[in-house]
Amino acid sequence: LKVVAVGGAGYHGSLLRGFVRHLGTPGAHLGPRGPDWLGLLRFLIVPLGPHPVAQHLGTLDGRYGSAFLDPPWRELFARSEPPPSEPFSVAGRILGYVAGAGVTLALPVAEAMLTCRDKL
């Protein structure tokens, strides 16, 4: 099961915290398959703005980096106001990434939680 999470580092941190608290706790009701079901869940992180996990994923996967870490993507989401026209298809990039994500990188949730932790 692919879970596509589109947002900033704070959103992804909240999502992963919720996953760890509710689905990763011993005895959590996960249906008939139990904890083995957790191995079937894959988070696909799509960054909007600066994102430490995305930077890490970009160093490991050139295709990911070219989709979400190139200058046009960063500039689009660094603006305070939306541009008058979309310089490229945001949905197209995301859909292309999801379609091509047959092999995912094994990034443990705990590692992602440490990388996404609040800086405050």
Closest CA to 94 of 8, 4, 12, 14: 4
Question: Please, are residues 19 and 42 in contact by the beta-carbon 8 Å criterion?
Answer: no
- pTM of the predicted model over 0.85: no
For the stretch 71-81, pLDDT in tens is 999 888 888 88
For the stretch 30-56, pLDDT in tens is 554 455 666 677 888 899 988 888 888
4: β partners: 44
